[in-house]
């Protein structure tokens, strides 16, 4: 029997995989909408969305159709050539945003790597070699490459990999005075998440983002928004910057962009894009026809008044019920976030126990997320049915009841 046909179980992970992950004890094998089935046939409701990736749930017909159609046409040609799906997707992203140019790659880390390299190259070309400093926020997360993990403000991810990349400063999030004190004429970019995702689903204050924009303008620095987790309708706007009305110079998107198919984008203006001349940056699979065809279908579905308004309505439904559960069982001090990126901040009695709640929810047939040890995170499909919201939160309440009664 071939490897492809052989039965595999969770125990095989420990035998053949690098141990940098600690996956759950079950293996999902099939999904439809917001429901998932594991190897034993057990059904779970998915409020995790592949960590804010499965923006239209599992096996959405528009995405299946786009992928199937493209799979019968053209898979890969490399960036020695361009292709029709990439050009169509770029047009749609440019038409829908502040941007005038798009660069496609494969992951949020790659998109941020491109953004940070672009920011440094623009500063180098315009002002010289001394303007290269990047300011980012503490508890931010921007990816796992050596550059992005150093820009991310969490030392637990960047320690232990040799000398750190220099010219990077971290300041407290939502602290405009601290940002102002850190910015100088050597600053080439300020990098912020409009909502800190891995840092605890913490939204930026409007005055903070507006202040960051003003500081960048005053110091000839670029404002970079990492919308890897907040982009593609997650907040109820196509991108979170639209919610705030603060326009960045560079924006990164991934996760939801492909609805589960790996793709990412860096969006920027024509004036900035021209600094990445031929040969200065690249990626083998960036702009892959399969990925771009799927992402085009995603934007066609998501960037509609019906879906975006639905996200805001579903947010209210989640928040109301979660606040009731938190109060009834004494778990949360706050339910925060925008759209369908929601964080429940655990109270002092439950601090550090997000994993326990994650496990209890799984036992009730519900897939959720953590955002650090003190926050439970929900990032479901943007088109999750109201009946699935009710059923999933019923399961979450059962988990909360069992935990607090134990």
The pair phi, psi for residue 291, each rounded to 5°, is -65, -45
* Residue 228 in marked binding region: yes
- The 3-class SS string of the chain reads CCCCCCCCCCHHHHHHCCCCCCCCCCCEEEEEECEEEECCCCEEEECCHHHHCCCCCECCHHHHHHHHHHHCCCCCCCCCCCCHHHHHHHHHHHHHCCCCEEEEECCHHHHHHHHHHHHHHHHHHHHCCCCCEEEEEECCCCCCCHHHHHHCECHHHHCCCCCCCCCEEEECCCCHHHHHHHCCCCEEEEEECCEECCCCCEECCHHHHHHHHHHHHHCCCEEEEECCCCCCCCCCCCCHHHHHCCCCCEEEECHHHHCCCCCEEEEECHHHHCCCCCCCCCCCCCCCHHHHHHHHHHHHHHCCHHHHHHHHHHHHHHHHHHHHHHHHHCCEEEEEEECCEEEEEECHHHCCCHHHHHHHHHHCCEECEECCCCEEEECCCCCCCHHHHHHHHHHHHHHHHHHHHC
* Residue 108 in marked binding region: yes
Provide the token pair at 50: 């592949």
* Residue 144 in marked binding region: yes
* Residue 141 in marked binding region: yes
Between CA 147 and CA 135 the distance in angstroms is 13
* Residue 84 in marked binding region: no
Provide the token pair at 142: 């921007």
Distance between the two ends of the chain, CA-based, in angstroms? 46
Provide the edge-to-edge strand list for the sheet that holds 366-367: 28-32, 35-38, 43-46, 366-367
* Residue 293 in marked binding region: no
* Residue 392 in marked binding region: no
* Residue 226 in marked binding region: yes
Which residues define the annotated binding site for pyridoxal 5'-phosphate?
108-109, 141, 226-229, 284
Which residues define the annotated binding site?
108-109, 141, 144, 226-229, 283-284
Which residues define the annotated binding site for N(2)-acetyl-L-ornithine?
144, 283
């Amino acid at each position: 029997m071939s490897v492809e046909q052989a039965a595999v179980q969770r125990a095989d992970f420990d035998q053949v995989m690098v141990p940098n992950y600690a996956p759950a004890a079950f293996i999902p094998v099939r999904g439809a909408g917001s429901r998932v089935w594991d190897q034993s046939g057990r059904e779970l409701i998915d409020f995790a969305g592949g960590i804010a990736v499965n923006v239209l749930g599992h096996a959405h017909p528009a995405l299946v159709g786009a992928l199937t159609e493209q799979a019968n046409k053209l898979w890969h040609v490399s960036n020695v050539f361009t292709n029709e799906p990439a050009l169509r997707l770029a047009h749609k992203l440019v038409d829908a945003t502040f941007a005038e140019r798009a660069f496609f790659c494969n992951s949020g880390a790659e998109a941020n790597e491109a953004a940070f390299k672009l920011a440094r190259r623009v500063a180098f070309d315009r002002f010289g070699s001394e303007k290269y400093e990047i300011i980012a926020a503490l508890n931010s997360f921007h990816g796992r490459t050596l550059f992005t993990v150093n820009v991310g403000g969490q030392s637990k991810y960047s320690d232990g990999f040799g000398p750190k990349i220099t010219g990077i400063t971290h300041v407290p999030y939502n602290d405009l005075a601290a940002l102002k004190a850190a910015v100088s004429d050597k600053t080439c970019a300020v990098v912020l998440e409009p909502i800190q995702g891995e840092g605890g689903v913490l939204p930026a204050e409007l005055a903070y983002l507006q202040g960051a924009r003003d500081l960048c303008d005053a110091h000839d620095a670029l404002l970079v928004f990492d919308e890897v987790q907040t982009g593609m309708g997650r907040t109820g706007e196509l991108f979170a910057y639209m919610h705030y009305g603060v326009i960045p110079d560079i924006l990164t998107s991934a996760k939801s962009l492909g609805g589960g198919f790996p793709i990412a984008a860096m969006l920027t203006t024509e004036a900035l894009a021209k600094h990445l001349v031929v040969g200065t940056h690249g990626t083998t699979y960036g702009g892959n026809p399969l990925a771009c065809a799927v992402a085009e279908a995603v934007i066609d579905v998501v960037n509609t008044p019906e879906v975006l308004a639905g996200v805001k309505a579903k947010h209210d439904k989640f928040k109301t019920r979660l606040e009731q559960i938190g109060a009834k069982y004494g778990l949360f001090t706050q339910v925060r976030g925008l759209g369908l990126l929601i964080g429940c901040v655990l109270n002092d009695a439950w601090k550090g126990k997000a994993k326990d709640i994650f496990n209890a929810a799984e036992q009730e047939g519900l897939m959720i997320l953590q955002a650090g040890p003190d926050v439970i995170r929900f990032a479901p499909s943007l088109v999750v049915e109201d009946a699935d919201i009710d059923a999933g939160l019923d399961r979450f309440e059962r988990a909360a009841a069992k935990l607090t009664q134990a």
